[in-house]
Amino acid sequence: MRKLLRAVAAQSEGENATAALDDRRQTSGWDCESGSGVRFVETCRIRNNFGSKQAIRIGKHSLIAGELLTFGHGGRIEIGEYCFVGEGSRIWSAELVHIGNRVLISHGVNIIDTDSHSLNAQERHQHFVRVISDGHPTNPEEMKNVRSSRIDIGDDCWISFGASILKGVTIGERSVVGAGAIVTKDVPPDSLYLCKVTPIISAL
């Protein structure tokens, strides 16, 4: 009986060691700071152009299947505990995207706190040439005409598939953003945000 108990204990210790090793494999090598139990699936991309690991922080037991990106001249992404970022979703920051705890972000969601480009055509072209030749600009002065504003998503929110959340928006705790919605205004806590779409159907 004692031999059996020792064998079971040894097996349990081996499984725990393997799980810990799997956790290290999952969280090591990514250009960000992540808590215990964070999982990065194969579709995940971390594009930390700002360069500092502290620019992207992910709370414990979150699962990341989408893309997290900071720009060369700035940006921070803060994701809380027990969050999910679905496949094909993009969180891009030049300012700050703050996401609370237990937030579910479905597939194909865009959360972007910046216009990414200037409204001036010549500046847009110069920016494009700069990116493809030397990478993202690191001097904020080069991007001073590109508007950015932080995004805040409260605890326990659910962002359904295909939604877009644009710069300067705050989504209150426990709110739900419907599929395909484009969020340009603040959403109060405990609210359902939907975009009314009226289809136009006509003969060819």
pTM of the model: 0.82
Give how many domains the chain has, as a whole number.
1
Domain contains 155: yes
Note whether 23 and 36 are within 8 A (CB): yes
pLDDT higher than threshold 60 for residue 202: yes
Residue 149 forms part of a structural domain: yes
Give the model's pLDDT for residue 28: 52
CATH number for the domain spanning 37: value is 2.160.10.10
In a domain, 158, yes or no: yes
Residue range 91-129, pLDDT digits in tens: 999 999 999 999 999 999 999 999 999 899 999 998 899
* Residue 78 within any structural domain of the chain: yes
16-42: b or e for each residue (b if 16 or more CB lie within 10 Å)?
A: eeeeeeeeeebbeebbbbbeebbbbee
Structure tokens at 75: 């940006």
pLDDT over 60 (residue 23): no
127-142 residue pLDDT tens: 899 889 988 888 888 8
Chain Cα centroid distance, residue 167: 14
Asked which of 10-14, 143-147, 199-203 is least confident by mean pLDDT, the reply is 10-14
- Flag whether 21 is in a domain: no
CB 130 within 8 A of CB 108: no
How do residues 143-155 score in pLDDT, each as one tens digit?
888 999 999 999 9
Residue with tokens 């295909």: 162
Residue 160 within any structural domain of the chain: yes
pLDDT digits (tens, 9 = 90+) for 37-66: 999 999 999 999 898 999 999 999 999 999
Residue 136: domain span: 33-193
Residue 14 lies in a domain: no
- Answer yes or no: is pLDDT of 85 > 90: yes
Query: The tokens 């904020």 sit on which residue?
Result: 140
The three-state secondary structure class of 129 is helix
List the beta strands (DSSP E) in the chain. Answer: 33-34, 39-40, 45-48, 56-58, 63-64, 67-70, 77-79, 84-85, 90-93, 97-99, 104-105, 110-112, 151-153, 158-159, 164-165, 170-171, 176-177, 182-183, 192-193
- Contact between 72 and 130 under an 8 Å Cβ cutoff? The reply is no
pLDDT in tens, 154-180: 999 999 999 999 999 999 999 999 999
Using DSSP bridges, classify how beta strands 164-165 and 158-159 pair: parallel, antiparallel or unpaired.
unpaired
